[in-house]
Each structure stands twice: as structure tokens, then as C-alpha cells.
Structure 1
């Protein structure tokens, strides 16, 4: 990012040393991996033995890949590994291979289309429903195997992880957002396919709120609301990005 000093008769232009932010990003990636990795191991141990004799827990476990929260955890883990690969050459002060330059482009696309929109949407929607009536989104029986610490890692810590990356990774806003939005809604539609195909095969929904609203006008409104939230989160990030980095971040200024 350029800064202009007017302390002399001739303006002086210089660049903010944003390469230093690679170290902060690495800290964020390692922290995210530690949180999610440790949480996954903890939950896997909890979902063993006598707990699986409970019919509700058994059903909950069998639906694990139908929960959008689990998808998001996987996305953040993949993104953290990708981020480490992107920033290692900078932190090790070695020549950046062409592969790393390509990975940086993928990192930016993944963050802007999936990581940020879904991270914020899950946080907003989950806690809004949870506060109103937790039985509609995270029934009390789940507490038998998922502690509140694990719940907060999956539904709260995901936002600080995203904000940390937003603060330390400058991005160039594309001239057209259609391909990015195609990625965001492509992921959303893929999830809906898994959700509805599971219901078609097994006749159950992973979230009680879907069972409650099924067959009413509120049912489609849920998905319309999610789609709108994703849209707002996607476009909102560019406003924040411009406030943090300005509107003219170029590829040479990016790390």
C-alpha cells in the first residue's frame, strides 16, 4: 500500500512493509489448525463407547457430514494448510517458486468466496437461533458428547480466525464479482444437494428447525435468508478491505 509524505517540497512515495504480515498470518494458521485439530480429536474420542448406544447420539453421528458447521471446519483446516504453504517462502526468506505464486491466487479466491462468507453466516445464523431456542439448532442431548468449549470453537472461534486473516492479508477487489459469487453459491447449492438428498434417503433433517418448518412458508424462507446473508457477507468484506488497505492494492503490493 502506498503512503505519501508531504513533509518536504517534493512528495515522497513509499510502500508499507506488508511482507512482515506473513508472520502474523502464520500465527493465525497454526492457531486455527491447533484449535480445529484438537477439537476434532476431542469430539472423535467423545463419540466412542457407551455414548454411541444412545439412539439420538447415533443419529447425530451418522449425520455429521450433513452439518454445514463440519463443512466449514474442513474448509478452515484446508485454508490454513494452504496459507502455510503460501507464506513459508517469505518467512524463510527463500526464492518464491511459481507454484507458491499460483497457490496465493487460490488462497485469495478460497478466502473471499468460501471462508469469510460461510464463516460469518454460520456464526450469525447459528447463534441467532441458539439464543432464541437452542432446541431448534443444537439440542441439549448433544451436550452428552459435545462440550460447550467445542461448540464455541466450531461456532464462535471461526469468526476471530477469519477477522485475523482479513486484517493481515490485503486483497484486490475484482472488477466483476460474478465468478466469486458463483463459487460461493456453488458451494451453497452443493450443500443443499447433500441436505435434501439425505432427507430423500433417510427422511430426517440434521437441524430440528428444518423439521419444524418443513411444509410451511417458513421452510423456503430459511434458505432464502441464508442466501441473502452469504451475499451481504461477501460484499461486506470488500468494504472492510478497502478501509484497511485502500482501494488500489495491486499485485505487487500483495504478499
Structure 2
């Protein structure tokens, strides 16, 4: 077993522990007694509606699957169990997690450097710790790199099968985002407040297109690991 494969289990376990600490940080934020600052109230009230939260949930699911998958290999569990864990791990990572994680980091920090008030107002820093912000928007890239570096012989995901699933996932989130405004008059991402409706629809379409592009990139990188007989990218 290669060194990278041996290190995968302890590394993913450490990442899992760090994610548990991040969950504690989010819970502490939710329980914090704050002023009537409207942005903080919105963050707490609609905490389950942020795409960052959706992506972090995917992270937790993926890391748990990775730990179980690596453990099944070490314990040499029945092949059927190993195959099921491996396929599910590959599906979650390639189809949803990788493109969503890159989207979160790219758009969050991209908008932040243009005008952070459009994505994460400076006033929030008083209540939301910097380490937690980086845990949700920066550190999450670490397991993406690890998974891409790990050797791979099986469980490759095809773009033509993954793309429709990702698009539906993105459309569902977009519908929820718009419904929040229609029902509560709230844009949980301040950047949408400065847009007209055509601009909002365009921005959501752009986000989806970038997400699909990230999907293609991730699958293409994984396909470079195919054995020579099946090296063709589908």
C-alpha cells in the first residue's frame, strides 16, 4: 500500500475532528446572545439556507464515507461492502462536493476582495470568529486536494451522468434562495440586493455554469488516473 494511501485514514480522521470543532463553533454562534443587529438575526434565522452550510454538510458526509471506505480496505471487509463504500464516496465527491466546494471558496473570496459588504459584512466579525470563517470557506479545500492526490483505479464518475444531478441540485438551491425573498423579503447574500431581477437570474445562471465547469475539471483530473486501457475521458 502506497504511503499516500496509508496516510489517508489518519488524515481524514483529523479532518473529521476539525469539522466537529467547526460544528461546535457554529452552534456557539447560534446560541450567542447578540444585539438586534439584523444581519446576525438573518444568519441565525436562515442558517440552514446558506449554500456554505449545504456544502459543509456534504463535507461531513464525504469525510465519514472516506473514513469508512479506508477502514474497510484495511480490515479487508467483504468486497461488496468495499465496492459500495467506494462508489458512494466517488459519487458524493465528484458529482456534488468538489464543484460545490470550489464554488463556495471562489465566489466567497472573490466577492470579499471586491467588496466584502456584499458577502460577509465587516460588522459580523464581532460575532463570527475569523477561524470559523476560514474553516468553512478555506480549509475545506484541503480534503479536495487530498482526494485528488490519492491513487485511483475504480469508481470513475462520468460527466454526462453527473452533470444533470448537479444542475438539479443547483436549481433546487436557487429556487429556495428566491423563495426566501418572496416569502420573507430577505436576500441572505447581500450581493443580490444590488442586482435587478434580470441580473439576479443571470448571476444564478453564471454560478450554475461555473459549478458545472468545476465538475468537468474535477472529473477530468480523476480520469487521468484511469488505467491505460480505459484512459479515454467520457
Give the TM-score normalised by the residue count of structure 2: 0.88
Task: Quote the residue 1:50 is aligned against.
Answer: 33
How far did 1:246 drift? 4.8
- The equivalences for 1:147-166 within 5 A come to 147-166=129-148
Looking at structure 1, the residues matched to 185 and 151 of structure 2 have their Cα atoms a distance apart, in angstroms, of: 43
Contact 2:86 2:155 in 1 (8 A): no
User: Given the superposition, is the C-alpha separation of residues 227 and 169 from structure 1 closer, same or farther in structure 2, using an over 3 Å criterion?
Assistant: farther
Contact 2:59 2:97 in 1 (8 A): yes
Which sections of structure 1, spanning at least 5 residues, go unmatched? 1-16, 251-255
Contact 2:159 2:219 in 1 (8 A): no
CA RMSD of aligned residues (A): 2.2
Looking at structure 1, the residues matched to 119 and 187 of structure 2 have their Cα atoms a distance apart, in angstroms, of: 11
Looking at structure 1, the residues matched to 112 and 122 of structure 2 have their Cα atoms a distance apart, in angstroms, of: 11
Q: Which range moves more in the overlay, 94-103 or 104-113?
A: 94-103
- The equivalences for 1:97-176 within 5 A come to 97-170=79-152, 173-174=156-157, 176=158
Looking at structure 2, the residues matched to 36 and 83 of structure 1 have their Cα atoms a distance apart, in angstroms, of: 14
How far did 1:21 drift? 4.0
Task: Quote the residue 1:207 is aligned against.
Answer: 189
Contact 1:22 1:90 in 2 (8 A): no
Looking at structure 2, the residues matched to 208 and 189 of structure 1 have their Cα atoms a distance apart, in angstroms, of: 20
Contact 1:198 1:204 in 2 (8 A): yes
Task: Quote the residue 2:169 is aligned against.
Answer: 187
User: Given the superposition, is the C-alpha separation of residues 51 and 75 from structure 1 closer, same or farther in structure 2, using an over 3 Å criterion?
Assistant: same
Is 1:91 the equivalent of 2:74?
Answer: yes
Q: How many residues align?
A: 229
Is 1:235 the equivalent of 2:211?
Answer: no
How far did 1:97 drift? 4.9
Which is higher, the Rg of structure 1 or of structure 2? 1
Contact 1:172 1:248 in 2 (8 A): no
Looking at structure 2, the residues matched to 27 and 156 of structure 1 have their Cα atoms a distance apart, in angstroms, of: 21
Which sections of structure 2, spanning at least 5 residues, go unmatched? none
Structure with the larger helix share: 2
Q: Which range moves more in the overlay, 165-174 or 227-236?
A: 165-174
Contact 2:90 2:156 in 1 (8 A): no
Task: Quote the residue 1:3 is aligned against.
Answer: none
Give the TM-score normalised by the residue count of structure 1: 0.81
Looking at structure 2, the residues matched to 79 and 237 of structure 1 have their Cα atoms a distance apart, in angstroms, of: 15
How far did 1:53 drift? 4.6
User: Given the superposition, is the C-alpha separation of residues 226 and 196 from structure 1 closer, same or farther in structure 2, using an over 3 Å criterion?
Assistant: same
Q: Could you give the per-residue CA deviations for residues 38-80 of structure 1, whole angstroms, max 9, x where no partner exists? A: 0120221133242265443122111111110000111000111
